[in-house]
Chain A
């Protein structure tokens, strides 16, 4: 064999290797979603002192069958005291609940069903366990489980395949994020991935930490709501659900047009009939209102309706002499703060996230509550009124009083 033949043979070998390498790497089992991992207790309702220690792990698994077909299965394990049961036929729903059957030596021994509820920073799964004709109350505290770099690579790759236009998804991003998991772009991609994959414990762990630092972000404000839907449907009067409902009401007062609030307000119209504004924004349109007379005397420039040119100027140059007072009262218009944070902080000057902001912009944090019907009679074309006026056309026809609101 001459040199040329050797070169050709080596090239052929390299090409074969490249083609066949995916087969080498093919995994037969892949834990796609870690739905629930934690430990807790199962107690007998008739005698709560009769209890079992519980350890639970439930996941969605992709299994590559011998024929090469990939099947998805909901599987897991439940350890009750020292007895292990395999969990099969797992089902989940979008409202934060999981159920499955328990097997031991291929024989069905029972079943369980749990719903999640957020308590502070901890997610708790509560529900029932049936085992050999006995029914237990089941409580499982979720364990912390952070994403590992090699898993991050997979998730980034999955997200970027589905969102090719996302500016953070560049070439070889998945590999890059595996090596730099704390890089801002990688965190941002993973956050976006997680917003749609909260049934994975790794995403919940990430979002809990993220939301601790960003409580004003919409998805953070609704995190507890999203993770407790089923539980709160079944236990609406529990302390935690009343608190969640209060948070939801407050969110919907400020954001009546979001999809979730449209549903919430349709169910509870009496809870969504007000709109909350900051004092500074309110007084621009209501200089004669009782609340604004003093304020506008003190800050005449802040109460003036600025022309579009000046507003544009202030957005570009918030430190311009003409804008300093205006920007102090209207930090969103001047792009000094995000609209989300500003909205979150109205009426929340003591919240840790708002303390500094509200010290700097006190008038932007003061809350004014306006009846939606009066407000929308005056401004039927405003975004927050379109939905309201559709639902309550008669309430939008009220003639506003002298003060306007």
Chain B
């Protein structure tokens, strides 16, 4: 039974660590829970990455097509 209890504690520990490691990726490097505002900033960074990737795929051809059409 002691082993079972130990297993449970071990896995609960894994979960907590996972959350902390996620939070460590924030700009502030805070290990406590992130505020909604910090999460929003994180989301804006994600959107920026998406934007830059998609815009890189915009060729001059797209723009030329638009102008000529």
Contacts and interface: CB of A to CB of B under 8 A. Distances in A.
Interface stretch (A34-42, A160-168, A309-317, A339-347): A34-42
B41 interface: yes
Chain B: interface residue count, which band? 35 or more
A63 B66 contact: no
A88 interface: yes
Given A20-B15, A24-B15, A61-B43, A37 B66 contact: no
Interface string B17-53: 0100010000000000111100111111011101110
Contacts of A9: 3-4, 7
Nearest to A121: B65
Nearest to B25: A28
Contacts of A143: 51, 54-55, 57-58
Contacts of B12: 20
Contacts of B7: 9, 12-13, 16
Contacts of B62: 122, 141, 144
B35 to A, nearest CB: 8
Looking at chain B's contact residues, is the secondary structure mostly helix, strand, loop, or mixed? helix
Contacts of B14: 20, 24
A48 interface: no
Interface in A67-81: 71, 73, 75-77
Nearest to A1: B3
B43 A63 contact: yes
Given A9-B7, A12-B4, A122-B65, A73 B50 contact: no
A253 interface: no
A39 B69 contact: no
Interface stretch (A50-58, A125-133, A256-264, A322-330): A50-58
B47 A141 contact: no
Given A59-B50, A77-B51, A144 B57 contact: yes
Nearest to B51: A57
B54 to A, nearest CB: 4
B63 to A, nearest CB: 7
Contact of B43 (A20, A31, A145, A201): A31
Nearest to A8: B4
Contacts of A20: 11-12, 14-15
A119 B22 CA distance: 43
B28 to A, nearest CB: 14
Given A29-B46, A37-B54, A120 B69 contact: yes
A358 to B, nearest CB: 25
Interface in A257-287: none
B55 A39 contact: yes
A12 B11 CA distance: 11
A49 B18 CA distance: 52
Contacts of B47: 31, 57-59, 61, 75-77
A75 B43 contact: yes
B36 A63 contact: yes
B16 to A, nearest CB: 10
Given A24-B15, A71-B36, A120-B66, A145 B54 contact: yes
Nearest to A64: B39
Given A37-B54, A39-B58, A66-B34, A29 B11 contact: no
A74 to B, nearest CB: 10
Contacts of A65: 36, 39
B63 A141 contact: yes
A86 interface: yes
B1 to A, nearest CB: 9
A8 B2 CA distance: 12
Contact of B66 (A17, A64, A119, A201): A119
Given A31-B50, A38-B55, A61-B46, 6 more contacts: A20-B11, A23-B15, A63-B36, A71-B36, A73-B43, A201-B54
Interface of A: 1, 5, 8-9, 12-13, 16-17, 20, 23-24, 28-29, 31, 34, 37-39, 55-59, 61, 63-66, 71, 73, 75-77, 84, 86-88, 119-122, 124, 141, 143-145, 201
16 contacts: A5-B3, A9-B7, A24-B14, A31-B50, A37-B51, A38-B55, A57-B48, A61-B40, A75-B44, A75-B47, A76-B44, A120-B66, A143-B51, A143-B57, A143-B58, A144-B58
